[in-house]
Amino acid sequence: MRKACFPVLEIDSLRKSYGAREVLDSVSMSVPMGSVTGLLGPNGSGKSTLLHIVVGLIKATSGRVTFGDLPASDSAVRRAIGFCPDDLPLPELLTAREYLTLIEGIRGMRSNEVAIDYMSSGLRIAAHLDALVGTYSHGMKRKLQLIAALLHRPTLLILDEPFRGLDPESGAIMRTLVTRYAAEGNAVLISTHDLALAGRLCRNVVVLQDGQVRASGELAHVVGTHADLESSFLAYTGLDVEAEDAADEFFAGLEVLEGA
C-alpha cells in the first residue's frame, strides 16, 4: 500500500485564457495521496478546464502541473492517471467487453477477462458485458467508464461528476469504491456539484469561482464557523447573497400577481 506522505498532484499558478477571456486565473492547489479531494464550483468556474489541463487534453497558458517530481507531460505521469470525464461519448457499436479490451490494448496491457468480470460484477453490470454500449443507460455508462479508468490501477483517479444520474444503490457502491481506493494510498480528485456528498466523501476541498481559488484545504478548515460545507460554499462564492436577491425578485413578481 502506498503511503500518503507527499502531494501526488501539485498545481502552481495555473492560467488558461482564450483571447481576452480568462478561464483560470493563477490557480494553485494540491491533491494529496490517500484521500479524496473535492473540486467544487458553480457552472463556468473552470473546473472541467482545470481537469482537462491536468490530464493533458488542453494546454495551459502558463503555470505548472507536476506529479511528484515529474511534469504532467511525462509519459510515466500519463500512465499513472485514470480519468472519467463528464459525458464522454462511448463507442455505441461495440459491446462493453470489446470496449474494455480496446482500452487494455491502447494502454499496452494484456487482456484480463477475470479482472473485468470481477469489476463489472462489483458494479452490477456483468450481465450486460456482451451487450452493445449503445443500449446502456446513463448510469451503466458511468460504471463502464470507471472500470476503463481503473484497469491500469492508476495512482491518481480523476472523476468529473461521477455520481450524476446514478440510482441510490449505484451511488452507494460508487462512494464505497472511491473511498476504499483512496484508502489504499491512491489519490482521488472529484469534481462535483453535490455539496452534501462532497461533505461526506472528501477530506480536502477546493472551491473555484470565475477561475480563481476562493478556498482550499482540509474540509474542517474550509467549513470553518459555517454550519456545513454548503453554507461555506455559498459564502465563499457569494451565491448566498445572489440567492437572496433572486428570491426577492421572484417574490416581487408574486406580489404583482396578487395585486392584479
Q: Average pLDDT of 37-53?
A: 94
Is 91's pLDDT higher than 50? yes
- How far apart, in whole angstroms, are the C-alpha atoms of residue 98 and residue 204? 37
Q: How many beta carbons lie within 10 A of that of residue 10, not counting itself?
A: 18
User: Is residue 77 very low, low, confident or very high in pLDDT (cuts 50, 70, 90)?
Assistant: confident
Q: Name which of 27, 31, 36, 17 is nearest 64 in CA terms.
A: 27
Least Cα distance to 44 among 189, 193, 158, 166 occurs for 193
Question: Which pLDDT band, with edges at 50, 70 and 90, does 198 fall under?
Answer: very high
Closest to 237 in 3D by CA, of 258, 213, 209, 217: 209
Residue 195 phi, psi dihedral angles, 5° rounding: -70, -35
Give the residue among 63, 88, 192 at the shortest CA–CA distance from 72.
63
Grid cell for residue 56: 493533458
Rounded to whole angstroms, the Cα distance separating 229 from 157 reads: 23
Query: Is the pLDDT confidence value at 185 over 80?
Result: yes
Tell me if residue 132 falls in helix, strand or coil: strand
- Identity (one letter) of the amino acid at 63? G
pLDDT score of 72 = 79
Half-sphere exposure of 108 (CA within 13 A, CB side): 2
pLDDT at 3: 45
Question: Does pLDDT of 27 surpass 90?
Answer: yes
User: How much is the average pLDDT of 134-139?
Assistant: 92
* DSSP 3-state of 144: helix
What average pLDDT score do residues 46-75 get? 90
Q: Which helix (H) or strand (E) holds 97?
A: helix 96-106
pLDDT of 9 above 60: yes
Full-model pTM = 0.89
For residue 225, the surrounding DSSP H or E stretch is none
Residue 1's pLDDT is 41
Q: Which amino acid is at 43?
A: N
C-alpha–C-alpha distance, residues 102 and 129, integer Å: 14
Residue 177: how many CB atoms within 10 A of its CB?
Answer: 19
Res 68: pLDDT: 81
Percent of the chain with pLDDT over 70: 97
165 vs 216, residue with greater confidence? 216
Per-residue confidence (pLDDT) for residue 74, from 0 to 100: 82
Neighbours of 209 (CB within 10 A): 19
Q: How far apart are CA 161 and CA 194, in angstroms?
A: 9
SS3 253: helix
